[in-house]
Each structure stands twice: as structure tokens, then as C-alpha cells.
Amino acid sequence: MRKAVTLMPLLATACVESHGIRPLRPLELATAPYQQIAAEARIGSLMYEGGCLMFSDDRKPGRLLPIWPDGSLFNGTLVTFHQPAKNEQRVAVGEEFVMEGVRISWQQLPAQRYAPFWQQCRAQPFIVSGVRPAD
């Protein structure tokens, strides 16, 4: 009984919620409300590495972290791109396509929501407003 009483405070502190940066869940996708801004179009493909879905541009060095519209899904092999009032489009990992949108800085994103992506992925965020096949 004495050991049980001694362990109670330790168990209680182990159950306290931590507000630190957590690792990304498997197949977690960065999303945000849809924005129709398309300042640039990039040609490349998606890659899933280290728990991060990244975009690799065929013409420019570096990787981008796509931030997809809310309602988009990732199942491990393809992204279902959700654009309001349009048919959903599917983009497979490794498939070449055109990604339209705008690059933003990490400071422009709410830290609490995107901190796990910044911590784990460390790529330039890119708000996705459209996708289409590369011709």
C-alpha cells in the first residue's frame, strides 16, 4: 500500500498534457482554408519522406511543403485535392503535375497549428490553390 501511495503523484504527472511540439501523425497532411491566390505554378512531383509529404520542383532546387485546402486527404499513395465547388482531383506520389499557389513564410502561419510541420519537415510552405496534369 505504501508503494502505491508513493507512485500516485508520479502517475498523475505522467497524464498531464504536454504543450510541446509533437511528431506528425502517419499520413498527416498540412491543410488550411482554401485560398484562390495563384501567384506561381511549379512543375514537379510529390514525395513522402520522413513522415512529410513534400513537393520536389523539377526546375528549381529545394523542396516545398504543400498546404492543401481543408477537405483534402492523403492515403499514403495519393492526395485527393479538395477545391470548393469543383470535382476532387487526385495526385499520386511520384506523378509529375503542376501545383499552383503561393509561397509564404512560417511566420505567416499560426504557430500552434503548424509547429509540428515546421519541426519535422523544415521546407518552404506553399499554399496550394490548384493542381493540373503536367503536359
Does residue 102 sit within a domain? yes
Query: What residue numbers bound the domain in which 70 lies?
Result: 22-133
pLDDT truncated to tens, each residue of the chain (135 aa)? 555 444 444 444 444 444 567 778 889 999 999 999 899 999 999 999 999 999 999 888 889 999 999 999 999 999 999 999 899 999 999 999 999 999 999 999 999 999 999 999 999 999 999 999 998
The total number of structural domains in the chain stands at 1
Is residue 101 assigned to a domain? yes
pLDDT of the residue at 67: 98
pLDDT for the residue 9: 45
Strand partners for 125:
65
Q: Which residues contact 100 (CB under 8 A, 6 or more apart)?
A: 38, 40, 41, 42, 128, 129, 130, 131, 132
- Residue 128, in any domain of the structure: yes
Q: What is the pLDDT of residue 21?
A: 74
According to the model, what pLDDT value does residue 2 have? 52
pTM: 0.81
Half-sphere exposure of 5 (CA within 13 A, CB side): 2
Residue 103 in domain: yes
Pairing of strands 97-103, 40-49: antiparallel
pLDDT, the chain, mean: 87
What integer pLDDT is reported at residue 28 of this predicted model?
Answer: 93
